[in-house]
Structure 1
Amino acid sequence: MVSLSKNQTISLAKQSSALSQIQFGLGWDPVKKKGGFLGGLFGGGSDSIDLDASCVLLDAQGKVIDTVSFRQLSSKDGAIVHTGDNLTGEGDGDDEVIKADLSRLSPNVEFLALTVNSFRGQTFNEVDNAFCRVLDQSSKELGRFRLTEQGSHTGVLIASLRRSGGEWNFTAHGLACTGRTVEEMMSQIVAAVVNG
């Protein structure tokens, strides 16, 4: 498993030979608020954080082919499937999972952009331990990117995959975006993934 830094790219083919089906696990925790026993009684404990993971399918020019999110859990071709919305961020491990059957993707899909946004408008100052990881079909973790920056933004382009000569490269972005939906973040996503 490779732990990536911001803007680092790895070849997934060099990490695993089993790459027809992969999955992206995205996770986060609410920031623990201080307040002790009385603070907990009066709202000082940790709040739930409802972040939404999405996958945007782009062609080589950056035209959006499809978007998979909590609103549309499967791409039109069935190659990308979102397993469902997590409304709290509580618990260990992946909070939301997006599965990709790379062999079923249309040949004109050049990029898969992975985003996380706060539909409710909670900022990343309220988010802790956010990460994105990619696993092969045997559940071997190939790469992980931990998001360490907090801020008043409501969205993040966390990572992307790019088709390169029949192989896929995974890039960690960690780009703060404005927008409470993936659609509102689209111009920033395209600029970073295609023109980046």
Structure 2
Amino acid sequence: MAINLSKGQKIDLTKTNPGLTKVLVGLGWDTNKYDGGKDFDLDASAFLLKADGKAASENDFIFYNNPQNTNGSVIHSGDNRTGDGDGDDEVVKVDLATVPAEAEKISFCITIHEGLERSQNFGQVSNAYVRILNEATGEEIVRYDLGEDFSVETAIVVGELYRHSGEWKFSAVGAGYKDGLGGLVKDFGLA
């Protein structure tokens, strides 16, 4: 049975799940009915970060146009342009055992493509979540539902996998950005 986290909570993944090496990070959302005439396109991405909180290179920014990092330990499933239907809208596969040693943290984000230009924000998005599944069994281990805490933001860091004393943990972050993907890229040292 999955453990539901609240914003700011952390959980040990590998210590409490011995043998866990491959996980699926599912991200999902729904858009509210919007009369602006423009479609919503939300995108999931992952940033591999060093101890200083910065990505080593652009190869450590995983998204639909760069679907995997250099060694293939983090792989993006592809772009879902509508978010229609139930279940995960986009998925990132992570092989915890082969994530490069310099990557202390993997930050998972959802952004609104051209959110500023289209006057779209997370106030118009509902049911956003991140969940971690055991790839081998399909079992959901942990879930974090973001709730309706956002209004003007166009990007959200939803959660992070991070190393601690040789184990992998997950943190429910829920931090919003008003300046979209550009703000994330800048904060993570790629701008």
| TM-score bracket relative to the smaller structure | 0.7 to 0.9
Q: Which residue of 2 aligns with 1:132?
A: 130
* Unpaired runs of at least 5, structure 2: none
Change (3 A) 1:10 1:189: farther
C-alpha separation in 2, matches of 1:14 and 1:48: 42
Distance 1:172 1:115 in 2: 11
* One of 85, 88, 112 as aligned partner of 1:94: 88
SS at the partner of 1:185?
Answer: helix
Matches within 5 A, 1:36-185: 48-65=39-56, 66-121=60-115, 122-137=120-135, 138-148=137-147, 149-181=149-181, 183-185=182-184
- The CA distance in 1 between the partners of 2:180 and 2:33, in whole Å, is 22
Q: Secondary structure at the match of 2:7?
A: coil
Contact persistence 2:152–2:178 (CA under 8 A): no
CA distance in 2, matches of 1:10, 1:143: 8
Correspondence for 1:21: 22
Of the two, which has the highest radius of gyration?
A: 1
Q: TM-score, normalised by structure 1?
A: 0.84
CA contact (8 A) 1:25 1:94 kept: yes
- Cα offset, 1:189, TM superposition: 5.9
CA RMSD of aligned residues (A): 2.0
Unaligned runs of 5+ in 1: 34-42, 191-196
Aligned residues: 179
